Amino acid sequence: MAAKLKDMSVIKQIFRLYQQGHSIKGIVRLTGVSKNTVKKYLRLSEVSPHQVEELTAWDNERLEEYFSKRGDPGSIGRQGELDDLLPYFEQELKRPGVTKWLLWGEYRQSYPEGYGYSKFCYQIASYLKEQKSSLHIDHLPGDKVYIDFAGKKLNVTDTETGEEKQLEVFVAILGYSQLTYVEAVRSQKQEDFIAACVNALHYFGGSSKALVCDNLRSAVDRACRYEPSVNETFTNFANHYQMVVLPARSRKPQDKSPVENAVKIAYQRVYAPLRNQTFYSIGELNKAVQEKLLLHNQTRFQNKEYSRKDVFEKEEKSLLLPLPEERFQMKNYKEVTVMKNCHVQLREDFHYYSVPYRFIGKKVKLIYTKDHIMIFYHGEQIAFHIRSYQRYKYTTVKEHLPSHHQFVSDWNPEMFLSWAGKIDPIVQDYIRTVMERKIHPEQAYKSCSGILAIARKVGKDELIAACVKATQLGVFNYSFIKRIIENGYAKRNTEEAQTSIPIHDNIRGSNYYQ
C-alpha cells in the first residue's frame, strides 16, 4: 500500500528551508516531519524535471497530483530509525532506574539490524550535547522576521459607554537591522494575528526568508520542542509571501530574543509616552503608535552614528523578497438566512448587514475577511459591506430596503404598531419611538418583535409597567425592557398597583368604626 502523501503546504516549507541552507535534521525539528519523509521529498525534487522554485509556485492540488504519481526513491535506514527515537530516549533517561544499556536492549529488540551498543551511546551523547548548546545567533540581512505579542496591553475608551477596552499589542522586528513594527489589535485570534503579520511585512516593504514566532495558538496547532505543528492557514500565509515558519522552542526565549528585546523597548518608547492620553478608537490609537514607532526607528543606537532605519535602508531593504501584488486575506465562510428586516447577522461580532429585500427568507453565503463582508446567493454576489465591530448595530444600504408602499413580508411598521395597540396605547407609543430612533424602520423590526413577544411570557401588565419605566428614563430598546423584567421591577410595580384599595362610595371609611 502506498504511503499517504503529506500536506503540500508543509512540503513547500521543506523545500524552502532546504534552499535556505538548513540541514535535514534542522528541517525535521522545525516542521515536525519525519527525517525519512524529508529525505523522500528532497530526492523527488532532485530527480524531477521541474525546478524547486517552479514546484513551490504550484497550487497545493497540482503539487499533490504530481507527487502522487512519483515513486518513493528511498527507504528507512538505521540512522533515520535512531534519529526518530532520540527525543524519546532523552525523556526515558530522566526516569529512575533507566540506563542506556536498558534502552539499547529495547532498541535492538525492535531493530535487530540496528547499531551496536557503543555507537548507540555515541549517538545519544551527541544528541544530548546538541540540545544543551546555546550559540550566539548572527543575523543576516533579509533572513528573519521575529514576531510576538507584548505581555502588557493598551486601552481605548468606548464613546458610548465610557468603558475602557484592552487591546493586544503585536510586535515584529527584522533580525539584522532591528527595524521594528508595533500595532494594537483587538485580539490574538488568528484573523487579527495574520492581519497584523501582513501589515508588518508591508511596513517593511518586503518579506524575509523566514518568520520566527512563538507557539501561539493562532500559528501553531501543537507546540512541541521537537515537532511543532504549524496550522494550515498560517502556513498558507507564509507560502503566499514565500517565507518559511520557524516556531521557537517552548520555554526557550533565546530563540526569539530580538522580539523579546523589542517588546521591552516598546514599553519605554511607545507605552510610556502615550500613558496619559485617552483614545476613542483603535485607528486613533494606532496612528499615535506609528508616530512613536517612527521616532524609535530613527533614533540612533547608543554610542553609534546610525539608527535602525539607516541600517535597514542601506543594508537590508534591497535583500527582502518582493511582496506579491495582492495582500493575503484570511477568508471565513458562513451560511445564514436573510431576516425579515432585510439584514443578516454576523454572529462573531453581533453586527447586522443589509441584503436586497427580494432575498428575505433565502439562505445566503457570507464570505468575510478582517475588513470586508461579501454576501452571495447561488454564486452571485448580492451585497458588499465594510466590516464593523460594533455590537448590535446595523450597517444598511438604503437601496436594499423596500419602499414605504411596498411590503414584501408581514413585517412592516403598521403591523408592529397594530400589534402593540392591542396590548396598550403606552406600549404602542413606546414601539413607535423605537422605530423613529432608527435611520431605517427595518433596523428596529427585530427589537420590536422581541419587546412585544414579552407580553406572551410575563403578561401585558408587566410589559406596560416596563415600557412606562423605560420611557421615563429615555431608553428605547429590547435589551433594557428585558433587563427591567428580569430584575423584577415591572412585577413589583404591577403587584403594588393591584394591592392598593381603590376609592369607592361603598367602601366604609375609618369614621364608621368610631
Q: What is the CA radius of gyration of the chain?
A: 33
Closest among 449, 455, 444, 448 to 485, alpha carbons compared: 455
Delineate the domains of the chain, giving CATH numbers in brackets: 8-132 (no CATH), 144-319 (3.30.420.10), 332-400 (no CATH), 413-499 (no CATH)
pTM, whole model, 2 decimals? 0.49
pLDDT at 406: 44
Which segments within 362-471 are labelled E, that is strand? 363-368, 372-377, 380-386, 394-395
Cα 513 versus chain centre, distance: 78
First to last CA, the chain: 108
pLDDT at 234: 79
**Strands 332-337 and 363-368, sheet pairing:** antiparallel
pLDDT at 496: 56
Tell me if 466 sits within 8 A of 477, measured CB to CB.
no
Cell of 442: 427595518
Percentages (nearest 5) of helix, strand, coil residues in the chain: 50, 15, 35
Cell of 92: 526515558
Cell of 484: 427591567
Dihedral sign computed on CA atoms, order 246, 252, 258, 262: positive
Long-range contact set of residues 63-70: C-beta below 8 Å, sequence gap at least 24: 63/8, 63/11, 63/12, 64/5, 64/8, 67/5, 67/8, 67/11, 67/41, 68/5, 70/44
Which segments within 420-488 are labelled E, that is strand? none
List helix spans (H) across 275-424. 282-298, 308-311, 413-423
Q: Which residues of the chain have pLDDT under 50?
A: 1-3, 71-76, 133-136, 226, 405-408, 499-501, 506-507, 509-510, 512-514
Dihedral sign computed on CA atoms, order 369, 373, 378, 382: negative
Residues with Cβ < 8 Å from 250, sequence gap 6 or more? 215, 223, 224, 225
Burial 196-220 (b: 16+ CB within 10 A, else e): bbbbbbebbebbbbbbbbbbbebbb
Backbone angles phi, psi at 414, to 5 degrees: -60, -40
Cell of 169: 499589542
Tell me if 493 sits within 8 A of 451, measured CB to CB.
no
Cα 508 versus chain centre, distance: 73
Tell me if 424 sits within 8 A of 468, measured CB to CB.
no
Q: Give pLDDT tens digits for 472-499.
A: 888 888 888 888 888 876 566 655 555 4
Distance (Å, rounded) from C-alpha 183 to C-alpha 147?
12
Residues with Cβ < 8 Å from 463, sequence gap 6 or more? 423, 424, 427, 451, 454, 455, 481, 485, 490
List helix spans (H) across 205-350. 232-240, 257-266, 272-274, 282-298, 308-311
